[in-house]
Structures are given as structure tokens and as C-alpha cells.
Amino acid sequence: MTTIAENIAGVRQHIQAASNGREVKLLAVSKTFPVESIAEAVRAGQRCFGENYAQEGSAKVEFFKEHYPDIELEWHFIGPLQANKTRLVAEHFQWIESLSRLKIAQRLNEQRPAHMSAINALVEINIDDEESKSGIAPEALSDFLASVSLLPNIQLRGLMCIPKADADETEKRQTFARMKKIFEDCRTKGYAFDTLSMGMSADYEVAIEEGSTLVRVGSAIFGARNYSKS
């Protein structure tokens, strides 16, 4: 059985091989895993972590501020966000990768503490038009970006997607390629986007080959999740 440190090293090797020298950020998805597991990843040099649940994630942010004050970590909120949980994200996270509702953006903008820089935001695109998934339709993106760009405490950085879970490699590659095109179209329109978050444990290498700049890897680092403990 491999250690978390060994898993991180292996994932980084795969990222390097797939990226052809291009810089790709590794986000370790630590949702449901204990702080001890995250601490092991920190000791292995990992600095960016993703959380899906506002309360759990905020508690982890506070734990590491207290117990690892000399190590600067970057926390991304990557799950669906309810309106009654926006303050937790606004006060604790540097990034939100799942922005898709103007109401949520407005609340984050209002609740962002004055001493913190604007929260970095990725807009989640429902790229495969799945009813069970959050995210906005590609055709609604232009108006959404125009509205969010007026909020001073939201810094738009790019896009995120989650392809169909049962898609094969060819289908996922096509999905990632469509996302890359949408991303580049936004840049052409003047948005200073630098982050395209695509790819998880099962498909991050394909996502990188199609242009991802950030991959969200959980189980390949921390092992299988036990959601009964979450």
C-alpha cells in the first residue's frame, strides 16, 4: 500500500508527462479526509487543497492556520454552494471553482472580509447538459460573466467543468476540447482568464492533453472515500 507522499509524487510524474512542459496545478481534493491525511500531504510539499463542504472545509482551514502557521496553503471550494453557507466560503477560501449563480456571486462579494483580497472564481459550466449537475449552460456564459465582472470582490480567473461520469475516453476528450474552445473564446473577448480546471483522478491526463491548467485529484492521492464518515 502506497503512502500519500508516494501517491502525490506519482501523480506529479503523470502530470509532467501529459503536460509536455506546460505548468499544470495539482489540487488535492481533501473532502471527507481527516486533517491528519492533509498534514501528510503538506509534509510532502502539497500546498493546494479542494473542499466540497463549507463547514468541513472552513474547519480545516482554521486548523491549519493554528497548527501550521508558517505554511501558506491555498484552499479551493469546489462543490455546490448554498446561499446560507456563502459567508463560510467568503471568509475562509481563496478560490471558488463552482460559481454558477449570480445570487451566490453577489453574496460572496458582499461577505468577503475587507482585509482579504478578492476571491478567485471559476465559473462552472454544465458542459454535457446534465440535469443532475450544477453549472451554467455555455450559451448563458456571456451574460453571466458580464454581471459577475461588475462585482469588485470577485476576481474571475477562468472555467471549470465535470464531464459525464460514464463517458469513455473519447467522449471526455471531446468534452474537454469543447471546454478549451469556450475558455479561449472568453480570452478573445477580453477576459483575463488563466485557469481551466478540468480532470479528476480517472481522467486528469486526458484533460491535461486537451488544455487543462488545473486538475482536481482526490482518490489517487488519499485513497477511496468513506462517505459515511462525512
pTM exceeding 0.75: yes
Please compute the mean of the pLDDT values over residues 199-208 and round it to a whole number.
97
Under the phi-then-psi rule, with left for phi > 0, alpha for psi from -120 to 50, and beta for the rest, what region is 214? Answer: beta
pLDDT class of 228 with cuts at 50, 70, 90: low
Centroid of chain to Cα 62? 19
Architecture field, domain 4-229: Alpha-Beta Barrel (3.20)
Contact 121, 109 (CB under 8 A): no
Please compute the mean of the pLDDT values over residues 92-107 and round it to a whole number.
98
Residue in the block written with cell 454552494: 81
pLDDT digits (tens, 9 = 90+) for 119-152: 999 999 999 998 888 899 999 999 999 999 999 9
Higher pLDDT, 42 or 131: 42
3-class SS letters over the chain: CCCHHHHHHHHHHHHHHHHCCCCCEEEEECCCCCHHHHHHHHHCCCCEEEECCHHHHHHHHHHHHHHCCCCCCEEEECCCCCHHHHHHHHHHCCEEEEECCHHHHHHHHHHCCCCCCCEEEEEEECCCCCCCCCCECHHHHHHHHHHHCCCCCEEEEEEEECCCCCCCHHHHHHHHHHHHHHHHHHHHCCCCCCEEECCCCCCHHHHHHCCCCEEEECHHHHCCCCHHHC
pLDDT digits (tens, 9 = 90+) for 49-78: 999 999 999 999 999 999 999 999 999 999
C-alpha cell at 42: 503538506
pLDDT at residue 48 is higher than 90? yes
Predicted pLDDT at 3: 98
For the chain, give every domain's residue range: 4-229
pLDDT at residue 229 is higher than 50? no
Predicted pLDDT at 226: 72
Predicted pLDDT at 227: 64
Residues in the chain: 230
